């Protein structure tokens, strides 16, 4: 017994224990993501059948602290068709391009502007809609309010001076567009601000949002079970030897 106790793999046991904790944590995290994604999908499903809400009323609710992510609204934007814009790098259906983001001025309330993602333009298209700040014809926009997603370690830095944007930084974009008191959401247009300019494609909500978190969770838990099985088999062989 003394000989076998001395051969107990303490270092390996610690390594297996640490690995097991990591695998189980990853599996639990994926289950949390699964519940989050199910909530998102339920909201998207309800949204796709819901009529657009009045935009100014939604902004008032937003100012009161309401979570309006994925809410469809209708907003009147003076001069949006000829408004200045910043260009946000994007990929749509496997094709690189840019999204044009302009400011929609609104009257009253806590917020005086809303950034509008007017749509996607392919990299192969060099033309852009004309900018004319004196053209204040109203444009009715129906779209979805989205909370801007933060960048990650691989996101290039925004370069406002060169009009190169990779992350939706609402305060910085609003500053570049000289828009005051911007709302903390971006309105993703579902209707075109420039119907006569087909190269600008509005970006509605995706019809199919993948949800593979249960599959990922099963994978991590399966790896944890396999690790325990291999470790137990190794201890059994040591005990029998």
Cα Rg, the chain, nearest whole Å: 26
For all residues of the chain together, what is the average pLDDT? 87
Do 146 and 188 touch, CB atoms closer than 8 A?
yes
Q: Quote the CA–CA distance of 54 and 72 in Å, as a whole number.
A: 9
The band of 83, judged by pLDDT with boundaries at 50, 70 and 90, is very high
CB-count exposure of residue 39 (10 Å: 0-12, 13-18, 19+): exposed
Q: What DSSP string describes 146-166? A: EPPPP--TTSPPPBGGGTBBS
Does the pLDDT of residue 186 top 50, yes or no? yes
Q: Which two tokens stand for residue 178?
A: 């000289």
Task: Assess whether pLDDT exceeds 80 at residue 130.
Answer: yes
Q: Is pLDDT of 17 > 70?
A: yes
pLDDT for the residue numbered 206: 62
Which pLDDT does position 56 carry in this prediction?
A: 85
Cβ proximity of 129 and 82 under 8 Å: yes
Give this prediction's pTM. 0.73
At residue 176 the predicted structure's pLDDT band, cuts being 50, 70 and 90, is: very high
The reported pLDDT for the residue numbered 52 is 86
């Amino acid at each position: 017994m003394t000989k076998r106790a001395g051969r107990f793999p303490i270092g390996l046991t610690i390594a297996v224990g640490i690995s097991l904790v990591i695998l189980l944590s990853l599996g639990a995290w994926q289950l949390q993501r699964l519940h989050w994604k199910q909530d998102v999908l339920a909201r998207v499903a309800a949204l796709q059948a819901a009529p657009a809400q009045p935009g100014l009323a939604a902004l008032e609710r937003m100012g009161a602290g309401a979570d309006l992510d994925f809410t469809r609204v209708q907003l009147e934007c003076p001069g949006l068709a000829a408004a200045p814009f910043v260009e946000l790098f994007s990929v749509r259906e496997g094709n690189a391009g840019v999204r044009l983001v302009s400011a929609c001025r609104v009257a009253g309330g806590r917020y005086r502007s809303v950034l509008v993602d007017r749509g996607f333009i392919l990299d192969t298209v060099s033309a852009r809609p004309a900018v004319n700040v004196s053209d204040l014809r109203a444009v009715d926009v129906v779209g979805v309010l989205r909370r801007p997603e933060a960048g990650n370690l691989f996101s290039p830095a925004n370069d406002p001076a060169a009009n190169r944007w990779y992350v939706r930084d609402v305060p910085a974009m609003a500053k570049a567009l000289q828009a005051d008191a911007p709302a903390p959401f971006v309105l993703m247009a579902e209707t075109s601000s420039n119907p006569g300019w087909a190269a600008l494609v509005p970006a509605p909500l995706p019809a199919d949002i993948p949800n593979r978190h249960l599959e990922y969770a099963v994978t991590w838990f399966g790896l944890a079970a396999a690790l325990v099985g291999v470790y137990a088999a190794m201890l059994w062989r040591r005990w029998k030897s």
